[in-house]
Structure 1
Amino acid sequence: MLTFKGFTGINNVLPERRMAGGDLLAATNVDFGLTGEVTRRAGLVQQSAHCHQNLHQAPGFLLATSGGALVAMHPDGARHTIHPALGPDRVWYCDLPDGRVCFSNGLIHGVTDGITGVERSVPVPGSLGAADAAFGALEPGQYRYHLSFVRLADRLEGPAISSEPLELAQGGLRLDGLPMLEGHGLNVYLSSRSGEGAYLAGTALGGSWEFAGGNAQLVLPCRTLEAEPFPVGTITAYWRGRVLVAQGNVLWASRPMAPHLCDWRDFKALQGRITAIQPVDNGIYVGTEHDLVFLAGTDWGQLAHVPTLRGPVVLGSGVQAPGHSLKLGDGTGAGQAMLCIAGGEVVAGFSGGQTESLTDKRWRTEVTQVSAAFREVDGLPQYLAVPV
């Protein structure tokens, strides 16, 4: 058994000849306690003989890829296939407040409740069909019509497309050759007589549809007008009712409380490829291949760009952590915080944009991509970063 009079931690920065008796170059399969005690790490228990990758502990179930498929494993032993062919690429996850989980590999994205999986977004109709006049009770004048797909399973509605103004002299509208999508209906909206607005006129379930009602029936407005499908990206996070996703060096935000929609202006371009996204109480830490950046504020449109000058952030190293478990100055932090590997060191980020290196002048790494997590074992906070 190894005994230290005063263990001071791992040190792979100083030359070995300059290390004190309480330093270690490396330690394998051991845990270090809050007072420096060294204990053997608990053993492993095999849960499955199958090869599993891209593990994510969601509320109530475990997600993983196995044989290219995304599966959900439940505590009672039940397994559900969420996506049959997600492929071998790395999968990024994001927990939503309602218990569902977003997943994406950069090409395919979706949402799951642990039982089934659906596409995260609803596509835009590919055409407007062909419009013709019909008899009806609409006031004669110019109208526009708008089309949007609505998923029948959960009534999720996608972005709408709009027609040019049409002259309706006979009070009715008929549409033929409408786009169709399996498992979806097509919501049809009509404008007021002036061509302004968009109000639900009905739902088409086939290639043709006709409206003969009056203007008083047009009441429910279209909520997805001028929206776009939420882009497919990689690293994903949830912040103040919005889902955030990275696409190269661009950070996108969904519409509030609508993770399947976004607006064309809701993006922020950063210098360098995004490698981490970690929200805190009053801002968002975004790691890039050049620096760790703090976007300060609580309103997406008013976020202020604050560089931390901590250096490049390792892909996948960003995790959420409680501030009271992380060192800040001579004490600990508070509130929601984050951990990442920036400039080769483990760095903690707190609300307000304050950061602190937890391994300054003691430990550095040259890894370029990890799978990271924060946990507490018997009250001991642990940051795990496994090279990928």
Structure 2
Amino acid sequence: MYTTDPNTTFKYTGFNGINDQAAQHSVPTGEGEVDLTAAINVDIDRYKKLFRRQGFTAVYNGTNIRCLTPFEGGLMFADGAELKHRSSTGVVNTVHSLLAQTDTICMAEVNGDMVVSDGQEIWTVAPDLSYRILGVNPPATEPNVSASSGGSVPQGVYLVAVTMISATGEESGAPFVTEVELTDRGSIQVSNMPNSEGSVKKNVYVGVGDSLFLEATVSGASVTISSLVGGRVLQFQHKTRTPPGTHMVHTKGRLFIADGNVLWYSEPLDYGKCDMRSGFIVFPEPITMLTERLFIATDSNTYWLRGDNPDQLVLLEILKYGTPKTKAAEVEGSYLGDTGGRVEVWQSNRGICIGAEDGSIVNITDKKVAMPKYDNAATIFRRDRGINQVIATGRKSGNIDSGRMRSEFTVTVIKNNGNTDVVDIIE
């Protein structure tokens, strides 16, 4: 309840944080906590009092820092074309200098390794900071396959497929299957088999119908199959290498990667392979957010993928608004009120949202703050001096100093005893 009576007095009992949707020309009547129309570089403590924020300290100066991600007790991040790691003691090492200099860097930890993509390539980085491309590139072209005499392969129509083998023994998918007919007993000649980056050998499979069996492993570009030995069955037909993307999470035993308006998912526990026939979901707009609980946003809508197996996932539209290009933070739900389990927090186009395990979403700031619409945003959670803080940053294109890594952030939402206090909404 507000009043414009200049003779009204009230007893101050604390600050409520920013509220730019309340009348700015009035003061509350009676007793109560005070809404703020602006609060720059201040926090609200557990007693509803204001105190000055501590500021920040530069811990690393770079050229275009982005995608800070915890890894091995430190931070993995991109700096220009370089992928770097800063240890807990402040030591900075360069992993490689192969990144595209765009804002589309994404990372996800998978079984102790960090998978990194710049939208054009995708790598996996080990704890010792050694790296390799994720998966094995399949053959880029079909081999030449022809019938020949001089063997014991029975007359018939055969299918031939080739896969690539890396130095670690990992096998690629087989995107091509070539048909050849033997009109008499003879052999099958396979030639002009291409090489791919990182491959050292090739597996050649031959079969009839749906089943192809390993018949040869070679390092050269050609081989003659003069008899059928019937090795192990081909497991990776129609599989290709998992594509790079701009958003990535590891969940449900798979790697989910967003590239434009397509959400790809890897084979189960085989993160470098993807089924190019069915391993994707198409959205009406480019994907701007992807979380481990499979909340997925575009600029216009926010969705949730319900289910465990991608073949049984159900896509549900939860909100009629979306997000800027952003990444969510995972938080213990009890820190943000009565929500149980782990939740995810992100900055949407209409404020800070919390997504729960059951697919429900709550916007915790829309009733108090009309937040600007940003092109890019990021969210973290921390506990500072006993206060639970969701810290969100947003920017519009061209409005950022990205050359410095800071130990503090400046845009804060505080949860006090289940109530939401919004501090420092800075455009």
TM superposition score category, shorter chain reference: 0.7 to 0.9
Partner of 1:7: 15
Q: Tell me, yes or no, if the aligned pair for 1:318 and 1:338 is still in contact at 8 Å.
A: yes
2:352 paired residue among 322, 342, 346: 346
The aligned runs of 1:1-388 (5 Å cut-off) are: 5-18=13-26, 20=28, 22-51=34-63, 53-60=65-72, 61-75=74-88, 79-114=92-127, 115-125=129-139, 126-133=141-148, 135-136=150-151, 138-139=153-154, 141-153=156-168, 155-167=170-182, 169=184, 172-192=187-207, 194-212=208-226, 214-215=228-229, 218-263=230-275, 264-280=277-293, 284-327=294-337, 332-378=338-384, 379-388=386-395
- Cα distance per residue 1:62-115 (max 9 Å; x no partner): 222224222233346655433323132014323233122222232233222251
- Cα distance per residue 1:40-74 (max 9 Å; x no partner): 43443433343451142333042222242222333
Q: Tell me, yes or no, if the aligned pair for 1:143 and 1:190 is still in contact at 8 Å.
A: no
- Work out the CA distance in 2 between the residues paired with 1:338 and 1:120: 27
Unaligned runs of 5+ residues in structure 2 are 1-11, 396-427
Q: Tell me, yes or no, if the aligned pair for 2:146 and 2:180 is still in contact at 8 Å.
A: no
- Cα distance per residue 1:156-199 (max 9 Å; x no partner): 4233421103328555444332212353134333334x344122
- Work out the CA distance in 2 between the residues paired with 1:53 and 1:104: 15
* Structure 1 position 383, deviation (Å): 2.2
Q: Tell me, yes or no, if the aligned pair for 2:162 and 2:205 is still in contact at 8 Å.
A: no
SS in 1 for 2:311: helix
Letter of the structure 2 residue corresponding to residue 271 of structure 1: P
Judge which range, 70-79 or 353-362, deviates more. Answer: 70-79
Partner of 2:400: none
Q: TM-score, normalised by structure 2?
A: 0.78
Q: Tell me, yes or no, if the aligned pair for 1:317 and 1:340 is still in contact at 8 Å.
A: yes
* Structure 1 position 205, deviation (Å): 1.4
Matched pairs, number: 376
Cα gap change, 1:312 to 1:67, in 2 (>3 Å): closer
Unaligned runs of 5+ residues in structure 1 are none
* Structure 1 position 134, deviation (Å): 6.2
Cα gap change, 1:140 to 1:209, in 2 (>3 Å): same
* Structure 1 position 132, deviation (Å): 4.9
Cα gap change, 1:205 to 1:75, in 2 (>3 Å): farther
Q: Tell me, yes or no, if the aligned pair for 2:161 and 2:205 is still in contact at 8 Å.
A: yes
- Work out the CA distance in 2 between the residues paired with 1:241 and 1:24: 46
Q: TM-score, normalised by structure 1?
A: 0.85
Partner of 2:8: none
Q: Tell me, yes or no, if the aligned pair for 1:185 and 1:203 is still in contact at 8 Å.
A: no
* Structure 1 position 293, deviation (Å): 1.5
Q: Tell me, yes or no, if the aligned pair for 2:163 and 2:171 is still in contact at 8 Å.
A: no
* Structure 1 position 19, deviation (Å): 5.5
* Structure 1 position 303, deviation (Å): 2.3
Cα gap change, 1:41 to 1:131, in 2 (>3 Å): farther
- Work out the CA distance in 2 between the residues paired with 1:11 and 1:172: 80
Cα gap change, 1:296 to 1:182, in 2 (>3 Å): closer
Q: Tell me, yes or no, if the aligned pair for 1:296 and 1:353 is still in contact at 8 Å.
A: yes
- Work out the CA distance in 2 between the residues paired with 1:78 and 1:343: 37
Q: Tell me, yes or no, if the aligned pair for 1:121 and 1:158 is still in contact at 8 Å.
A: no
- Work out the CA distance in 2 between the residues paired with 1:105 and 1:34: 41
Identical aligned residues as a percent: 21
Q: Tell me, yes or no, if the aligned pair for 2:122 and 2:243 is still in contact at 8 Å.
A: no
- Work out the CA distance in 2 between the residues paired with 1:131 and 1:83: 43
SS in 2 for 1:325: helix
Question: Greater strand percent: which structure?
Answer: 2
Q: Tell me, yes or no, if the aligned pair for 2:165 and 2:172 is still in contact at 8 Å.
A: yes
Cα gap change, 1:154 to 1:324, in 2 (>3 Å): farther
- Cα distance per residue 1:223-252 (max 9 Å; x no partner): 211113323321111220111122222222
Letter of the structure 2 residue corresponding to residue 277 of structure 1: L
Letter of the structure 2 residue corresponding to residue 197 of structure 1: S
The higher radius of gyration belongs to: 2
SS in 1 for 2:291: strand
* Structure 1 position 316, deviation (Å): 0.6
